[in-house]
Amino acid sequence: MKVTSTAPIVAERCTYFYDEPHDVSGAYDVIGSPSTGSDWFFAEGYTGNAFAETITIANMDDAPVKVTLTLKSQKGRVKSFSLPMKAHDQVLWKVNNHNTFGGSPEVSAEIQAPKGRLVVQREMSSTTSTIRSTEAISTRWADPM
């Protein structure tokens, strides 16, 4: 989704979810990003028991892109995953399903598409809370839907 305005605005989206494998339900409100990017970083997340981590990637470009997701465990182990995306596509990438290499539930992430225009956000949820990242005020907002 793309929202534009001639004056500074804040665009937001409310989402309600249920993650059956982890028996986690809840709601969150996310503020859109004022711009797209080709390289996104997320500090340590957590994929241990009763936690679920999902990275939402939206390709805002008119062309397909090859996305590389790189996870780094707290123990320093690194693994990359390739993800082809169609133009204007969105993917919900379950980090828990891919963090099987590092020997620890703590994992940071980098999402890259050198020739792409991405909007990326990370959801971390547990049986008690949900955490989302947000951005600042702008006249243009892009938000993975």
Lowest mean pLDDT among 32-46, 90-104, 126-140: 126-140
What is the rounded CA–CA span in Å between residue 124 and residue 73?
Answer: 16
Q: Express as a percent the part of the chain with pLDDT over 70.
A: 83
Which of 28-37, 42-51, 87-96 ranks highest by mean pLDDT? 87-96
Tokens 């996870």 sit on residue:
71
**Domain ranges (residues) in the chain:** 2-142
Of 88, 26, 21, 98, the residue nearest 57 (C-alpha):
88
Q: Which residue has the higher pLDDT, 106 or 134?
A: 106
The CATH number of domain 2-142, selected from 1.50.10.10, 2.40.100.10, 3.40.630.30, 2.60.290.11: 2.60.290.11
Confidence of residue 128 (pLDDT cuts 50, 70, 90): low
Q: Note the pLDDT tens digit of each residue in 57-115.
A: 999 999 999 999 999 998 889 999 999 999 999 999 999 999 888 788 999 999 999 98
Q: Are 60 and 119 in contact (CB under 8 A)?
A: yes
